[in-house]
Structure formats: structure tokens, C-alpha cells
């Protein structure tokens, strides 16, 4: 296990979350599972936590109950190399009740926020040519799902 990993609090639907994330991210696997004691009131024998690895990033998924919800203050950046990858993650992360947002952001059906962006975007936004970076930012700000060819066109000044 990695020394530091995000712990994601779910409302007693960790099994569903595992199925969802391992179907969306092909490079994922369960590393370990722990259970509430069988005599735990209301939770007996239910999954307590799961250690899950997605694309070499380890997460702990906690079956914590309805006390806390995800919000946009924490999101996960999904780097995509092609428009097909962007489309794949956008479609799958918003499936079954997820929500689209602006600038490559989506919420999945659990309310967890993701940024689905082309791998080249951070470099373009930090370009030493500030006019180029501004054109890319202006183009991105008009998008919901990031369209790679439009970002590249903005970088070229087209």
C-alpha cells in the first residue's frame, strides 16, 4: 500500500462503486477488502473498506453511510491522449445519472468529480507564449466536454 492514498466515503454502496470504477477504468483492481464484524449493529458482515487501484493510483473506498457527500472541492484528473479517450471517459463517467459540467468536469453517479482532459492541456495552459495560453484558456472556457481539435486550433491561433 502507498503511504498516502485518498479515502472516498460512500453511502453503503461500495460494492456498486467497485463494479462501476473497474468497468470504466480497465487498468484497475481490488487490492484488499475488510468487513464490519458480523455483530456490528446495522452493518454486520457488510464491507467496511476496499483498497482499490485505478491506473496505478490507490484509493480506499469506505462504506461509511449517509453522513458525508462528495463535492467539487476534490476532483480527479483523467489524462486522455486522444479524442476517443476523452469521449470514452466522458460517456462512461456520466453514465447512469452522472452529470456534465464545464471545462472537462463531470460528476459520476456517486457525485464524485472528475476532470477529463487532453494530456496536452496543462502544457498549453502554462505555455510561455501567454497569448497562446490565453487562446487555449478562452477556447476551453466555452466547452463542456473538451474537444481536442478545437484546443489545438486555439493553440495555433486558428
**What is the per-residue DSSP string for 97-130?**
T-EE-STTEEE-TTS-EEEEEETTHHHHHT-SSH
Domains of the chain in start order, with CATH, are 1-68 (3.30.720.100), 70-158 (3.10.180.10)
Taking only the tens of pLDDT, the chain with its 158 residues reads 889 999 999 998 999 999 999 999 999 999 999 999 988 887 788 899 999 999 999 999 999 989 999 999 999 999 999 999 999 999 999 999 999 999 999 999 999 999 999 999 999 999 999 999 999 999 999 999 999 999 999 999 98
Q: How far is 109 from 94, CA to CA, in rounded Å?
A: 7
Amino acid at each position: 500500500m502507498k503511504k498516502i492514498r485518498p479515502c472516498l466515503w460512500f453511502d453503503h454502496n461500495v460494492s456498486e462503486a467497485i463494479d462501476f470504477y473497474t468497468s470504466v477504468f480497465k487498468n484497475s483492481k481490488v487490492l484488499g477488502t475488510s468487513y464490519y464484524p458480523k455483530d456490528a449493529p446495522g452493518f454486520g458482515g457488510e464491507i467496511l473498506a476496499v483498497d482499490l487501484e485505478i491506473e496505478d493510483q490507490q484509493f480506499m473506498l469506505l462504506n461509511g453511510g449517509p453522513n458525508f457527500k462528495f463535492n467539487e472541492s476534490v476532483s480527479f484528473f483523467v489524462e486522455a491522449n486522444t479524442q476517443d479517450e476523452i469521449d470514452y471517459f466522458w460517456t462512461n463517467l456520466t453514465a447512469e445519472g452522472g452529470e456534465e459540467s464545464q471545462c472537462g468536469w463531470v460528476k459520476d453517479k456517486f457525485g464524485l468529480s472528475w476532470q477529463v482532459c487532453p494530456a496536452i492541456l496543462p502544457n498549453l495552459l502554462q505555455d510561455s507564449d501567454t497569448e497562446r495560453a490565453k487562446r487555449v484558456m478562452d477556447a476551453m472556457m466555452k466547452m463542456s466536454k473538451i474537444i481536442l481539435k478545437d484546443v489545438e486550433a486555439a493553440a495555433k491561433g486558428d
